[in-house]
Amino acid sequence: MNIDLRLMATLPVLAPAAAAVLVLLVDVALPDRRRVHLGLAALGLVVGVLGVLPGLRLGAGDRRGAFCLDSGHCGYAATHLTSVLQLAGLLAALVVLVLARDDWAAPGAGGAPDRTGRAPVVVALALAATAGVVAVPAAGDLGTLLVSLELATLPTVALVALVRTGWPSERRARAVDGAVSLLTTSLVSFALLALGAAFWVAATGSTVLGSVTDVAHPPLLVMAAVLMVAGLAFKVSAVPFHAWTPITYAAAPMPVTLYLATVSKVAALGGLVVVVQALGVVDGTTLVAVAVLAAASMTLGNLVALVQQDVLRLLAWSTVAQAGWVLLPLATLSSRATQAAGSYLVVYLAATLLAFVVVLTVAVLVTAHDQGEGPGTRLSAYRGLLRSRPLLALPLGLALLTLAGLPPAVAGVVAKIAALRPVLGEEIWWLALVAALNVALGIAVYLRWVAVLVATDRPGPVTAAVRVPAPTWVLVGLLTLLLVVGSIVPLGVV
């Protein structure tokens, strides 16, 4: 048996993985050179982005394969949709790296090196997790899928727990609690995935993830479908596997929260697309399970987000609701379901990244204003932001309107229409009704925040006295431009 490696096709995965190893090796030779690690990480992500570009030119049905057998099966197979998801994950990771540059490179107490050796470790962990994220959508067999998902998950547990030694002990304890919550849920989800994989092999006699048309034991394949979808639902923060999300988001360092809210979701959707494409054509049970998850996630997420006073918890519950919208088109047999889900995820990533950039900036501004004691993540901190910091308030407002699906953020409107279209085409009326009700709920969630931004009665603590770093303005400008261009020339599907 011959194996055709074709390693260049796996460059999106190899580049961040190699950069993670290089960061650790360089740290041995050049200890305490924190900025060097960040530069190497950025280089690895950029090379990964360059490796994705050939896949964006693939036509329908074309694949870039690696680790291919004589039979034609490839352990790694990237399609056009896979390449779009990989590109989104790598670029989102690059944004997180820029935002985290000061936190991850910060020294320990008194300017001395951090006793945890935090800079190289957190950078290497983030790169390793990103390598797993971009590998998941291209998984061609069960082994690749399971290993990639764990690579995308386990490093994030350490990222949540590995905080700066200068943090107060209470805050460090909350970070550990968040990491334990994430770890516990991830272990349960992996158990479900592994059990589903066992049922898959028993039903098909193969570990290959491909479109199945004939199996010896259909009930086993149905059980495999339900278990694997349930296992993947944890990572996308779908109900009832969402419990870790608000706890971990609020406890983790803010750049890590941003990573979990954006980059990790690429792996979640990638895994779901792989499983639904392989199993959904066999039995409707899989699709019913996805539909129920979608309906429950968007409803519970919006209802709880509607009463939150902390913006991190609001965004955490918003993630749960948006997970429902990502899952929505996958509940159908439409040929464009996966493209619609991919489109929605890309729009969600852009809007969430922009919102988090502003949230992180406001938290820093409030802390500087109140000498380290200000509640920088409270919703009240944003009162009157349009008047005090219009260049931050307007992009944040655009991001919130995009998530709500309201004009003038046309990109969000088109994304919701694209997600709804397969459901309406398959005439799943109960699910379409639930989605329509959640459109109204989502509007209430995000307009509540917008109303605080434009309020003029009582200004919040953010003033124009503190300078915002230039890289932050660059990120705000680029992400805002992306949403504006997406609203002027809405593509609908990837």
pLDDT at position 478 is 92
**Percent of the chain having pLDDT more than 70?**
86
Rounded Cα distance, 100 and 112, in Å: 19
Residue 278's nearest CA partner among 321, 349, 229 is: 229
Task: Report the predicted TM-score, pTM, of the whole model to 2 decimal places.
Answer: 0.89
How far out from the chain centre does Cα 411 lie?
18
Which pair of tokens denotes residue 339?
A: 């493209």
Dihedral of CA atoms 213, 219, 220, 226 in degrees, nearest 10, equals 90
Per the model's pLDDT, the better-predicted residue between 163 and 341 turns out to be: 341
DSSP string for 120-137: HHHHHHHHHHHHHHHHGG
Rounded Cα distance, 342 and 327, in Å: 10
| One-letter amino acid of 452 | V
pLDDT, tens digit, 9 for 90 and up, residues 357-405: 999 888 887 765 554 444 567 888 888 888 888 899 999 999 999 999 9
Rounded Cα distance, 404 and 204, in Å: 42
pLDDT at position 373 is 41
pLDDT, tens digit, 9 for 90 and up, residues 449-483: 999 998 876 666 665 556 788 888 899 999 999 99
Helix (H, G, I), strand (E, B) or coil at 239: coil
Residue 281 pLDDT > 50:
yes
Q: Token match 């998950």: residue?
A: 153
Residue 16 pLDDT > 70:
yes
Residue 212 pLDDT > 70:
no
Residue 144 to residues 118, 133, 138, 186, 223: CA-CA distances in angstroms? 30, 12, 9, 17, 21
Which pair of tokens denotes residue 280?
A: 């959904």
Q: Tally the C-alpha atoms within 13 A of residue 325's C-alpha that lie toward its C-beta.
A: 32
pLDDT, tens digit, 9 for 90 and up, residues 142-151: 888 899 989 9
pLDDT at position 204 is 79
Backbone angles phi, psi at 491, to 5 degrees: -90, -25
